[in-house]
Every structure is written in C-alpha cells, then in structure tokens.
Structure 1
Amino acid sequence: MTDITAVELKERLTQNTSPVIIDVRETWENEESHIPGSRNIPLGDLPGKLQELDDLHDQEVVVHCKGGSRSAAAKAFLQQQGFTHVRNLIGGFQAYEKA
C-alpha cells in the first residue's frame, strides 16, 4: 500500500474516515503534541505490543514518527508480521504540523 501525505491524512481526519494511526515516537515526544486519536507505541516497544494490534491485520494503519525514518522501520516490521494495509506518513509529524 502506498504511503500517505499529511494533507491526505488531515482531510481524512476531518471527514471522520481516518485510519488507525500509530505514533512510534517516544512517549515524551507524543506528550508534547500528537495527532488527535493516534495511539502511541514507541518503535522499541512495538514487538512486545503486537498482540494488542491483532485486530488490525486487515485494517488501514498509518504509522508516523517525527520525520519518517522510525515509522518506515515500523511499517516494514508490521508488514513482516502480516499487516496488509500499513502506510507511512510522508515527512512524519513535522509534515503534519505544517500541512
């Protein structure tokens, strides 16, 4: 599945058609500011939290971090675990704030 732009994600949020959003930044980064409705699971914690995400294997999931590197790793990891509709937020939270 192709990645998603910040503009597209913001449009989806306003239309209430938003995917599941997972913020893979550290907890302190998420506490400073975050995308409404997102779920914070730091990248290092993701392998241990997989069972909490079992019901999302076939749902659209958007992962994001600050700039896109950690979320690219999260996307690859989730795809390896059988998640079929994972998208990375292009430019990360920085792009989202500017959009």
Structure 2
Amino acid sequence: MAILVYTSGDVGAGSAAVLAPRVVLGGARLGEVQSASPEECAERCREDAECSWFNACGAPQGCDVGEGPPLGFQQCSLLAANDSVVPVVLSKGDDCAFR
C-alpha cells in the first residue's frame, strides 16, 4: 500500500508531519529522493526550504501520483506549494491510481 504524506509548519525540526494514507497531493515537483519510510521522507522535506509537502511510495509495484512519472518503491517526491497554503488533492481513497 502506498502512503502519501503532507507536511506543515516551519522548515526544520519543529515542523509537523501528518500521514495521509491513500491520498495523492499535487504541487511543483522539486525532485525525488529515496526514503526507507514516510518519516524519513518528512525529514528530507523539512530540510528543503522550498518543500511544503510530498508524496511517498511504499508499494513494491510503485505508485502513480497523477502528475509526472510514477514513483518507485520507497521513493519520495518533494513538492512545492504552487502559491497555495493548502495542497491540491489529486485523488484519494481506494480509487487512488497506484500502478
């Protein structure tokens, strides 16, 4: 199952991470990183001043995140806010398009 994650708060160790299973968020892709867990992906996002939220893939078959190329297993896509304080939800629930 894929776990997709949204982070909020200031950049750095004091910010919060909210796990949102089966939710695909939109935003300007800053790049992809490998991460062993959603928590590690949250840490990578907090280290990047431009990162507002991210999608993380925990599915061995990979995850279709709706915009751009799919994510591989244990891959994380860091996303910028696109002039919004609320992330765009591209899909959610059991109908999320995971490949």
The TM-score range, normalised by the shorter chain, is under 0.3
- Using the size of structure 1 for normalisation, the TM-score is 0.28
| Between structures 1 and 2, the one with greater helix share | 1
| Between structures 1 and 2, the one with greater strand share | 2
- Using the size of structure 2 for normalisation, the TM-score is 0.28
